[in-house]
C-alpha cells in the first residue's frame, strides 16, 4: 500500500500512483491513475483537471492506494471500477465476463446497418458474455427481439443485469447452453434474420503470451477456441443456416490472421452466397459477414 507523511494534492497523488503503475509495466499508467481517482471521487476527469491542486483526504487516499495496488498487480482497470463503456453505454463487468472491446463495436455497427432495413428483426447473439452486443443492438433497433446465449450461468447473470439497466429486458431472452443447443426447443429455425457473435478465437498455444490482464483475469472459456483458434467459428458457420431465413446474415468477430481460413469455411459449406471482410480502425481484418443463400 502507498503511504504518505502529509496529504497530497490530487496531482501529486496521481503522479505517485502513475509512477508505481509504470514500474509494474502498465502502459497507460497516468491515464489509469486518473480514471481510478475519478472513480473513487465520483467525478469525471474534466473535474479532476480543474481541481488538480485540491488536497486528497485520508479516506479517499486509502481507497486510491488500494485501487493502485490492485492495478499494479495487473488486475484490469474495468474490474476495479466495475464497468466498461461500449457503444456509448456503460456495461457492468466482472471476472465472469469478457471485457467489451472497441473493435467489437464493428459487429454492432454492421448489424445495425442490416437490421434497419428489416421490420421487427429476430436476432441471435451467441457467446453473449456481458450482453454488450445484444443490448447495444436492442437500444439501436427498438423493434428487434433477441435470443442471447452463453455457456456460463455467471456471465448470463451479468448480462441480465446489464439488460435491466438499459431497459431492454423485455426484448432480450437469455439462454444458458453451448451455442445453438438451448435454441433447439424454440420454434425459430429458418426464421432468424441475423446471427451475431464475438466467439472465442484465441489459439490454445497463445494463452501464455496474452497480456497479464487478459490471461490472469478474464474467463478462459471466453478466450480460447482450441488449437486452431477457429473451432467455434466453424461450428457456428455449420449450424447457422438451419436458423437463418433466406438471405439472413451471419456476423462474427475474428482474430488477426483468421480471415482467409474463415472465408474458406463459408465457401466450403455451400450455404452462403456472399462473404465480406470488415477492417477495424487499425486496418485489421476484424469482422466477417456472410449471407445465407
Summarised one tens digit per residue, pLDDT across range 263-291 is 999 999 989 998 999 999 999 999 999 99
Quote the percentage of the chain above a pLDDT of 90: 96
Summarised one tens digit per residue, pLDDT across range 50-66 is 999 999 999 999 999 99
> What is the average per-residue pLDDT within 169-183?
97
Identify the pLDDT of residue 286.
Answer: 98
- Residues in the chain, how many? 293
Summarised one tens digit per residue, pLDDT across range 180-217 is 999 998 999 999 999 999 999 999 999 999 999 999 99
Place of cell 461450428: 235
Identify the pLDDT of residue 5.
Answer: 59
Identify the pLDDT of residue 274.
Answer: 87
- Would you state the torsion angle of the CA atoms of residues 113, 179, 255, 96, taken in this order, to the nearest 10 degrees? 100
β-pairing verdict for 172-176 and 224-226:
unpaired
Say whether pLDDT at 4 is over 70: no
User: What are the phi and psi torsion angles at 116 (to 5°)?
Assistant: -65, -20
Say whether pLDDT at 230 is over 80: yes
Task: Name every residue whose Cβ is closer than 8 Å to that of residue 239 and which is 6 or more positions away in sequence.
Answer: 179, 180
> What is the average per-residue pLDDT within 142-165?
98
Quick one: how far is CA 151 from the chain centroid?
A: 16
Say whether pLDDT at 117 is over 60: yes
Kindly provide the b/e burial profile for residues 81-91, where b requires at least 16 CB atoms within 10 angstroms of the residue's own CB: eebbebbebeb
Quick one: how far is CA 33 from the chain centroid?
A: 22
> What average pLDDT does the structure give for the chain?
96
Structure confidence at residue 7 as a pLDDT band (50, 70, 90):
confident
Identify the pLDDT of residue 143.
Answer: 97
Summarised one tens digit per residue, pLDDT across range 246-269 is 999 999 999 999 999 999 999 999
Say whether pLDDT at 220 is over 80: yes
Q: Which residues pair with 150 in a beta bridge?
A: 176
This prediction has a pTM of: 0.93
Q: Which residues pair with 5 in a beta bridge?
A: none
Structure confidence at residue 111 as a pLDDT band (50, 70, 90):
very high
Amino acid at each position: 500500500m502507498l503511504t504518505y507523511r502529509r496529504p497530497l494534492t490530487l496531482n501529486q497523488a496521481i503522479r505517485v500512483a502513475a509512477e508505481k503503475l509504470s514500474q509494474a509495466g502498465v502502459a497507460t499508467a497516468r491515464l489509469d491513475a486518473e480514471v481510478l481517482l475519478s472513480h473513487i471521487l465520483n467525478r469525471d476527469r474534466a473535474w479532476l483537471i480543474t481541481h488538480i491542486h485540491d488536497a486528497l483526504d485520508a479516506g479517499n487516499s486509502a481507497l486510491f492506494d488500494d485501487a493502485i495496488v490492485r492495478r499494479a498487480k495487473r488486475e484490469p482497470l474495468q474490474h476495479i471500477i466495475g464497468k466498461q463503456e461500449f457503444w456509448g453505454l456503460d456495461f457492468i463487468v466482472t471476472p465472469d465476463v469478457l471485457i467489451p472491446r472497441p473493435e467489437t463495436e464493428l459487429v454492432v455497427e454492421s448489424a445495425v446497418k442490416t437490421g434497419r432495413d428489416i421490420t421487427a428483426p429476430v436476432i441471435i447473439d451467441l457467446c453473449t458474455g456481458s450482453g454488450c452486443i445484444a443490448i447495444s443492438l436492442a437500444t439501436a433497433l427498438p423493434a428487434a427481439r433477441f435470443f442471447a446465449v452463453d455457456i456460463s450461468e455467471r456471465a448470463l447473470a451479468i448480462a441480465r443485469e446489464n439488460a435491466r439497466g438499459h431497459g431492454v429486458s423485455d426484448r432480450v431472452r437469455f439462454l444458458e447452453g453451448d451455442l445453438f443447443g438451448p435454441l433447439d426447443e424454440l420454434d425459430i429455425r429458418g426464421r432468424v434474420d441475423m446471427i451475431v457473435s464475438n466467439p472465442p478465437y484465441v489459439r490454445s498455444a497463445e494463452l501464455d503470451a496474452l497480456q497479464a490482464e487478459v490471461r490472469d483475469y478474464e474467463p478462459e472459456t471466453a478466450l480460447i477456441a482450441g488449437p486452431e483458434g477457429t473451432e467455434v467459428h466453424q461450428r457456428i458457420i455449420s449450424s447457422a443456416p438451419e436458423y437463418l431465413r433466406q438471405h439472413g446474415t451471419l456476423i462474427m468477430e475474428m482474430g488477426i490472421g483468421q480471415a482467409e481460413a474463415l472465408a474458406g469455411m463459408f465457401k466450403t459449406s455451400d450455404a452462403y452466397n456472399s462473404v465480406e471482410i470488415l477492417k477495424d480502425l487499425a486496418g485489421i481484418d476484424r469482422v466477417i459477414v456472410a449471407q445465407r443463400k
